[in-house]
């Protein structure tokens, strides 16, 4: 066990934005709220899966909605703890441990806020190993675990309790409610016992995010040295260096959807690239050639600092480095590909691992 302080939050926010593949909500806003919670309530204890007891009740605390909404509709600590309080009321018992549902953007920091206010330990694990846009896109769903009961809350004082039959229905019902709550809401789902979480969650992801953030902060402006260290740690690939020439954002069905166009610079001069996203980056292409696709990770980084740029923060003219990393093995199973592969998102090609695509490209 160790404690998360303000310095750790700074690094986690940066590293989680890389692993969040452009989504998971704005990490800057999450960082500000999490730091304020630490100042107000004190550091948060971070425990590993090995320290988790089988009979402890573990609850993910997260936000749902379009990342672009959270920039203008900033969440509060009350919003995140209200969903957790309602879940305790429904279950008739206290929560023992909270955890992030995904390791991306604001959703890596949301449970820190709840843990600080309620004096609970935080689990160093998540259920994605990255960020995905829909509620059923978690390892708990892959392993047949049920999300019910699901509690939701907004900044107006509204709370909702759902009993969906599975993760897919949890997404469908919660998404509609999120839209009615103004495009973003807090949510607690998959309240599980420690023994279930230990079998299904992806371990050590907050520590990994902190490590990646450290690489970038410690090597800011050092000729992409932080990016190189990050690629080595994650066994990743540099896809291209480019300038953003066009961006299309649409708020559709509670998601930020769209694409970005890039013109190559430096060694990629004269080449054109595209990234398609739904909250998170899903596909990177050069012309019609696939460079990387979901569930593998795609991140857009500032060329000078190496800092990640989320989908809602991409701007015309920005000079960037686009990188990719292999996903966790759980997503490369048959059910994993059915749940988060390119076919699920409507693309007419099958998933191929980024390692295979890059070997072919070389």
Q: 354, 296 in Cβ contact below 8 A?
A: yes
Structure tokens at 183: 């495009």
CA 157 → CA 48, 67, 81, 113, 228, distances in Å?
A: 33, 21, 11, 18, 46
State residue 122 phi and psi, 5-degree precision: -110, 135
Q: Quickly list H helices, the chain.
A: 6-19, 27-41, 67-72, 77-91, 110-118, 139-142, 167-180, 194-200, 205-218, 225-234, 334-340, 354-361
> Domain check: are 185 and 268 in the same one?
no
Q: Mean pLDDT score of the chain, rounded to an integer?
A: 92
Please tell me the predicted confidence (pLDDT) of residue 224.
82
pLDDT tens figures, 264-291? 999 889 999 999 998 889 999 999 999 9
Of 323, 327, 354, which Cα lies nearest the Cα of 339?
A: 327
Please tell me the predicted confidence (pLDDT) of residue 106.
84
> Domain check: are 181 and 265 in the same one?
no
pLDDT at 66 over 70: no
pLDDT at 10 over 80: yes
Please tell me the predicted confidence (pLDDT) of residue 28.
80
> Domain check: are 186 and 244 in the same one?
no
Q: 10, 31 in Cβ contact below 8 A?
A: yes
> Domain check: are 117 and 261 in the same one?
no
Which residue has better confidence, 184 or 293?
293
Please tell me the predicted confidence (pLDDT) of residue 326.
97
* 347 within a domain of the structure (yes/no): yes
pLDDT at 69 over 90: no
Q: 140, 127 in Cβ contact below 8 A?
A: yes
> Domain check: are 199 and 65 in the same one?
yes
Query: Could you tell me the residue range of the domain that residue 239 belongs to?
Result: 221-361
| Stretch 31-58: mean pLDDT | 95
> Domain check: are 154 and 263 in the same one?
no
Backbone φ/ψ region at 322: left (φ over 0), alpha (ψ -120 to 50), beta? beta
> Domain check: are 155 and 266 in the same one?
no
Number of domains in the chain: 2
Structure tokens at 62: 């997260």
pLDDT tens figures, 305-359? 899 998 888 899 999 999 999 999 999 999 999 999 999 999 999 999 999 999 9
Domain boundary among 155, 172, 203: 203
Q: 65, 29 in Cβ contact below 8 A?
A: no
Please tell me the predicted confidence (pLDDT) of residue 260.
94
Please tell me the predicted confidence (pLDDT) of residue 193.
98
Q: Tell me the CATH number at 60.
A: 3.40.1610.10
The whole-model pTM stands at 0.92
* 210 within a domain of the structure (yes/no): no
Domain boundary among 175, 203, 231: 203
pLDDT at 362 over 90: no
| Stretch 22-39: mean pLDDT | 83
Which residue has better confidence, 238 or 251?
238
How would residue 78 be classed by pLDDT, with cut points 50, 70 and 90?
confident
Q: Tell me the CATH number at 341.
A: 2.40.390.10
| Stretch 225-249: mean pLDDT | 94
State residue 328 phi and psi, 5-degree precision: -65, 150
> Domain check: are 170 and 302 in the same one?
no
Give percent of the chain with pLDDT exceeding 70: 95
Domain boundary among 203, 233, 252: 203
* 341 within a domain of the structure (yes/no): yes
Taking the C-alpha atoms of residue 259 and residue 254, their distance in angstroms, rounded to an integer, is: 17
* 209 within a domain of the structure (yes/no): no
> Domain check: are 27 and 145 in the same one?
yes
Q: What is the dihedral of CA 207, 20, 289, 353, to 10 degrees?
A: 40
CA 252 → CA 144, 175, 180, 257, 335, distances in Å?
A: 29, 11, 13, 7, 26
> Domain check: are 167 and 261 in the same one?
no
* 213 within a domain of the structure (yes/no): no
Taking the C-alpha atoms of residue 323 and residue 321, their distance in angstroms, rounded to an integer, is: 6
3-state SS assignment for residue 307: coil
């Amino acid at each position: 066990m160790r404690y998360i302080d303000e310095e750790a939050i700074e690094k986690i926010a940066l590293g989680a934005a890389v692993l969040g593949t452009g989504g998971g909500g704005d990490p800057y806003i999450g960082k500000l709220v999490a730091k304020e919670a630490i100042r107000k309530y004190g550091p948060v204890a971070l425990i590993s899966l090995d320290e988790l007891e089988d009979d402890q009740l573990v609850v993910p605390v997260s936000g749902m909605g379009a990342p672009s909404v959270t920039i203008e509709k900033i969440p509060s600590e009350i919003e995140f703890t209200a969903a957790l309080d309602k879940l305790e009321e429904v279950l008739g018992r206290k929560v023992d441990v909270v955890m992030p549902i995904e390791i991306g953007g604001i959703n890596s920091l949301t449970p820190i806020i709840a843990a600080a206010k309620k004096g609970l330990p935080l689990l160093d694990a998540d259920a994605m190993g990255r960020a995905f846009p829909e509620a059923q896109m978690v390892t708990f769903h892959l392993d047949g675990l049920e999300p019910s009961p699901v509690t939701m809350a907004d900044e107006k004082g509204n709370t909702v309790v759902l009993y969906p039959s599975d993760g897919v229905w949890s997404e469908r019902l919660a998404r509609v409610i999120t839209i009615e709550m103004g495009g973003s809401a807090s949510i607690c789902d998959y309240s599980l016992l420690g023994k279930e979480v230990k079998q299904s969650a992806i371990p050590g992801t907050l520590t990994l995010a902190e490590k990646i953030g450290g690489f970038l902060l410690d090597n800011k402006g050092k000729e992409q040295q932080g990016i190189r260290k990050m690629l080595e740690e994650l066994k990743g690939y540099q896809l291209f260096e480019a300038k953003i020439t066009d961006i299309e954002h649409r708020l559709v069905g509670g998601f930020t959807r769209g694409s970005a166009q890039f013109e190559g610079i430096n060694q990629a001069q004269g080449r054109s690239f595209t990234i398609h996203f739904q909250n998170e980056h899903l596909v990177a292409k050069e012309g019609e050639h696939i460079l990387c696709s979901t569930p593998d990770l795609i991140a857009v980084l500032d060329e000078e600092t190496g800092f990640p740029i989320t989908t809602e923060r991409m701007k015309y003219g920005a000079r960037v480095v686009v990188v990719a990393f292999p996903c966790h093995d759980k997503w490369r199973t048959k059910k994993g590909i059915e749940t988060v592969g390119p076919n699920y998102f409507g693309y007419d090609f099958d998933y191929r691992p980024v390692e295979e695509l890059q070997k072919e490209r070389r």
